[in-house]
């Protein structure tokens, strides 16, 4: 992860104060929060804030399970603006995917979208 991005995330309370974006909740100090790179493009982890998600270690361990992956994608896609998604929409229309996930899950909380 680039030093600049690591520094930005390290200063953000959503990434450092026990907040799990998957649960949209702050967990106690015993819960380990990990930064999950949720988006792979051209075989590499995308190093952008919108696709690096703070999740607790139990969710991180299950991130490749279909239902967990779908919910993480829903959160992630709602954190990006349309121009960003268009730039990554080569293999799949990410705006359409976001809209479909919003039909299933609704609208993420303001915290989940920041």
For residue 37, the SS3 value is: strand
Kind of pairing, strands 33-37 and 25-26?
Answer: unpaired
Q: 10 Å Cβ neighbour count for 13?
A: 9
Q: 10 Å Cβ neighbour count for 46?
A: 17
Q: Where are the domains of the chain?
A: 3-113
Confidence of residue 28 (pLDDT cuts 50, 70, 90): confident
CA 29 to chain centre: 21
Report which of 46, 45, 55 is spatially closest to residue 14, judged by C-alpha positions: 55
41-58 tens-digit pLDDT: 999 999 999 999 999 999
pTM of the complete model: 0.92
């Amino acid at each position: 992860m680039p030093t600049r991005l690591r520094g930005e995330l390290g200063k953000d309370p959503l990434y450092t104060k026990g907040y799990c974006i998957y649960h949209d909740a702050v967990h106690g100090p015993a819960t380990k929060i990990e930064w999950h790179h949720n988006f792979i493009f051209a075989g590499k982890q995308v190093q952008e804030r919108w696709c690096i998600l703070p999740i607790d270690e139990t969710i991180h361990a299950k991130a490749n399970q279909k239902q967990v992956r779908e919910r993480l994608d829903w959160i992630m896609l709602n954190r990006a603006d349309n121009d960003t998604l268009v730039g990554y929409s080569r293999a799949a229309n990410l705006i359409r995917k976001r809209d479909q996930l919003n039909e299933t899950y609704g609208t993420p909380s303001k915290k989940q979208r920041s």
